[in-house]
Amino acid sequence: MSFKKIHPELKEALERLKITEPLPFQKNVLSKIKGGASIFGIAPKGSGKTTALVMSTLQKLNCAAFEDSPRALIFVKDKQAALDLEQEFNRFIFRMDLRVYCAYEEQNIEDQRDDIYDGVDIVIATPKRLSKIFYSNGINLGQLQLFIVEDAEFLIKPNLFSDVIRIPESLNKCQYLIFATKFDARMERMQDSFMSAAQIVSL
């Protein structure tokens, strides 16, 4: 995806952040994500995976809030990763009305359920906490368009992996994006269960 073929508000954000050209990995992956493909994005640290994740999410959601149910769900390893990713989104959505929400274990779960019910567009969550919210009917994923895992290496713990791969069983049509530094046995299991048509984009 050329930076010329993106939503005007996203283009404005890139100009404000002085991001002028896509990195090699971003050049390979952004157009495929924009085309609707599910992707395993495999590249080393520093290759621009997080920026590609943010850009792709904003493009998919048209840089604007819509109704109340989340349209993007992003799994991260812990509270700090959630807050870091929220901060990265905030750099881009400075002039947009998109609502980004973090859900992690250190918060009161009833407050989280209420906050999500009030309306969010993007939920960044740890697997354990999202699983508890989901199975207590605290989040409606009926409008979900993007299911994303950032830095999927953290799924080495079997319980976290199980929390993540159970969610797609309850989803309608959705685009899946898994970002990691290498393609391993966990990715193969995802490929077998809910990402059979996914493309592997590597650097």
Q: What tens digit of pLDDT does each residue of 78-105 get?
A: 999 999 999 999 999 988 999 999 999 9
In this predicted structure, the answer to whether residue 3 has a pLDDT above a threshold of 90 is no
Provide the whole-model pTM: 0.96
Give the whole-angstrom CA distance, residue 86 versus residue 97. Answer: 14
Residue 5, pLDDT score? 82
- What would the mean pLDDT of 115-129 be, rounded to a whole number? 97
For 18-32, the pLDDT digits (tens) are 999 999 999 999 999
Grade residue 2 by pLDDT with cuts at 50, 70 and 90: low
Residue 96: closest CA among 14, 18, 10: 10
Strand order across the beta sheet in which 122-125 lies = 100-103, 122-125, 72-75, 146-149, 175-180, 39-42, 199-202
| pLDDT > 70 fraction of the chain, expressed in percent and rounded | 99
- What would the mean pLDDT of 119-132 be, rounded to a whole number? 97
